[in-house]
Amino acid sequence: MNSRRYYIVLACALIFISIVLFIIDYLIFGDLRDNLFYLFQDLAFLPLQVLIVGIVLERILAQREKEEKFQKLNMVVGAFFSEVGNKLSSVLIDASDKKEEIINNINVRANWKDIDFKRAINYVRQDNQTGFDKIDLPQLKSFLISKRSFLLALIENPNLLEHESFTDLLLAVFHLTEELETRPSLDNLPDTDLIHIALDIKRAYQYLVVQWLAYMQHLRTNYPFLYSHYLRIHPFQPNPSAIVV
């Protein structure tokens, strides 16, 4: 309400100043006809000025602000992969029954272009056959619980709501953490429960890899030095190593 009142007062003040200046101009030069001519000429171009300033310029500034915010959000995405994502990816890929096929399809290389990232993302999204039967559930549970505070801090960040795909990833990982944590024991679970957990793992895996590929594509365009580092250490390759050879 106070904000609305402020704009009303501001509008009235500006209109009053315009009237005063118009009267002063008339009193000094005494040419009402020319004053009215230029007044209506300015009014004729007012809609165009509104279009340029109020719509076009505003959109340009909003788009720039959105891009700057997206850049900052990608710093949070990078922190997630450094703290949780890379290790989780390594655990999942090692437990996969299609490890070699996955590596062949999503092993990001230095010469990858946008079309390669698009192909890899489509592969992950359409892959409904990958299983994680070899996964050590107690180990996975222990790792995710150890990162619980970090995940909660990310989820509580209101700015992440604008990064929908990353929010979906966080919720999928957090849900998997809760599923594992709320079971007193992960031994001798019935097949129906194992199937349920497998679906949660698969969901987290797909969100994780798709977001990782999008993040790598972002680094390739904006931060080549970080891209070079991640190319050497990411888990979707046979022998990850930070050493430059």
Segment 223-227 mean pLDDT: 92
- Same domain membership, residue 103 and residue 204: yes
Confidence class for position 1, pLDDT limits 50, 70, 90: very low
Task: Please give the average per-residue pLDDT across 44-51, as a whole number.
Answer: 66
Round to whole Å and give the CA distance between 177 and 217. 28
**pLDDT higher at 18 or 170:** 170
pLDDT score, position 61: 63
Q: Answer whether residue 101 is part of any domain.
A: yes
Predicted local distance difference test score (pLDDT) of residue 205: 95
Cα dihedral sign, 157-161-165-168:
positive
CA atoms lying within 13 Å on the CB side of residue 131: 6
Q: Looking at the structure, tell me whether residues 146 and 168 fall in a common domain.
A: yes
Secondary structure (3-state) at 96: coil
The amino acid occupying position 9 is V
Together in a domain, 104 and 218? yes
Query: In the prediction, which pLDDT does 213 show?
Result: 96
CA–CA distance, 30 with 8 (Å, rounded to integer): 32
Give the DSSP letter string of 43-68: HHHHHHHIIIIIIIIHHHHHHHHHHH
More confident residue, 162 or 175: 175
Query: Quick one: 34 and 82 in the same domain?
Result: no
**pLDDT exceeds cutoff 70 at 127:** yes
Determine the pLDDT at residue 129: 83
pLDDT exceeds cutoff 90 at 207: yes
Mean pLDDT estimate for the chain: 85
Task: Determine the pLDDT at residue 34.
Answer: 67
Note whether 108 and 211 are same-domain residues: yes
Q: What is the mean pLDDT of residues 84-108?
A: 93
Residue 20's domain comprises 2-60
Residues 56, 102: one domain?
Answer: no
Longest Cα–Cα distance in the chain: 98
Rounded Cα distance, 238 and 235, in Å: 8
0.85 cut: is pTM over it?
no
Number of domains in the chain: 2
Question: Residue 87 corresponds to which tokens in the numbers above?
Answer: 């290790």
The pLDDT, as a whole number, for residue 81 is 93
For residues 38 and 85, membership in a common domain is answered with no
Measured CA to CA, the distance from residue 187 to residue 131 in angstroms comes to 19
Residues of the chain with pLDDT > 90: what percent?
50
Q: What's the mean pLDDT in 110-136? A: 91
Residue 227 has pLDDT above 50, yes or no: yes
Q: What pLDDT band is residue 72 in, cutting at 50, 70 and 90?
A: confident
Rounded to an integer, what distance in angstroms lies between the CA atom of residue 48 and that of residue 53? 9
My answer on whether 187 and 207 are in the same domain is yes
Average pLDDT on 130-143 reads 91
Q: Average pLDDT of 27-44?
A: 68
The yes-or-no verdict on residue 62 having pLDDT over 70 is no
| One domain, residues 133 and 162 | yes
Query: Taken in order 101, 103, 108, 111, is the CA torsion positive or negative?
Result: negative
Segment 142-149 shows an average pLDDT of 94
